[in-house]
Structure 1
Amino acid sequence: MAYWLFKTEPDTFSIDTLRIQQVSCWEGVRNYQARNMLRDDIRIGDLVLIYHSSCKNVGVAGIAKVVREAYPDHFAFDPESDYFDAKSNPENPRWVMVDVEFVRKTKRVIPLGVLKAMPELSELALVKKGNRLSIMPVSEQEWQAILSKEELGKSAR
């Protein structure tokens, strides 16, 4: 089992949306490096930190589990979709998605500021300057460190 962090804008799709739907495709990834991770590395049973970005309360908001491995992102074929890509087609799909299942919300949104202050996360792409990937790997140690901050007032160890 591997660990991941998926970024989402909660105005578009939030941990609460996933809680209601229970299972959802993770579509719309349009970065080749992130696509390659979806396609080549993410497997059924992997756990995912759902990270809310571009909002007032930025941070880790919940946990999901991968329940379907990469398959063509059909939104890329739909001219009406925001994720349409004229160069992608069903015979030669350029983009993929996975399905994730709601596991739980975190006890609080674990703020980016808290994550940045944790020495044990210094190698995590999320806290490095200039990283804009929407999908990134998280080590087991980083996963545990992040979840240790669910309770308010927990100091960085």
Structure 2
Amino acid sequence: MPYWLMKSEPDEVSFDDVLAAPGQTVAWFGVRNYQARNFMRDAMQPGDGILFYHSSCAVPGVAGIAVVASTPYPDASQFDAASPYHDPKATPDNPRWISVDVKAVAQGRYLPLTELRGVPELEDMVLLQKGSRLSVSPVTAGQWKRILALAGVADTVAAAAAGQAA
């Protein structure tokens, strides 16, 4: 199973917002970077694991664990002229931007970026590379397991995954 880190500004959509949403599921919208879009469109599948990361805030870090809950579909905000994510070049017949639904799985201990930087097993993580600003990036299985352990949710996530497989 592939794993991803997805960044959200908590004043836009926080992990607490996902937990409070019906079915603990929200649409991931507003991605306007082609590489991040391509990950969502071409590589993400329902059931893939997500590290839900709070960015552009006082203490950026991993706020929770989620899964991809849908196949990719056109991001409706690209067609909305009142949206800050409006794209006048996008049309319903030729959408440029993608959304996926994201479902909360577990909220463990908040893992600040400063702590992640000090974990040797994470030194190759895309998030921690100089100049990395992608809102969606791949995570290795080893990085995933280490972060679940640090957050204290490895057993909870394993139980949720076993329940989905049944």
Cross-structure match for 1:135: 136
Q: Runs of 4 or more off by more than 6 Å in structure 1? A: none
Letter of the 2:60 partner, please give it. V
TM-superposed deviation, 1:148 = 2.0
TM value normalised by structure 1: 0.92
Q: CA RMSD in A?
A: 0.9
- Identity value in percent: 49
Task: Write out per-residue CA displacement over residues 124-154 of structure 1, whole angstroms, 9 at most, x where no aligned residue.
Answer: 1100110000000101100011122225xxx
Letter of the 1:9 partner, please give it. E
Cross-structure match for 2:3: 3
Cross-structure match for 2:62: 60
Residue aligned with 1:13, SS: coil
Q: Map of 1:119-134 to 2, 5 A cutoff?
A: 119-134=120-135
Task: Write out per-residue CA displacement over residues 47-88 of structure 1, whole angstroms, 9 at most, x where no aligned residue.
Answer: 101001111221001011111011101110110111100011
Cross-structure match for 1:14: 14
Q: Map of 1:7-156 to 2, 5 A cutoff?
A: 7-21=7-21, 22-106=24-108, 108-150=109-151
Gaps of 5+ in 2: 153-166
Residue aligned with 2:71, SS: strand
Q: Which has the higher helix share?
A: 2
Residue aligned with 1:33, SS: helix
Structure 2 CA distance for aligned equivalents of residues 50 and 80 of structure 1:
27
Structure 2 CA distance for aligned equivalents of residues 74 and 12 of structure 1:
16
Q: Which has the higher strand share?
A: 1
Cross-structure match for 2:161: none
Gaps of 5+ in 1: 152-157
The question of whether the paired residues in 2 share the 8 Å contact of 1:6 and 1:50 is answered with yes
Structure 2 CA distance for aligned equivalents of residues 68 and 95 of structure 1:
15
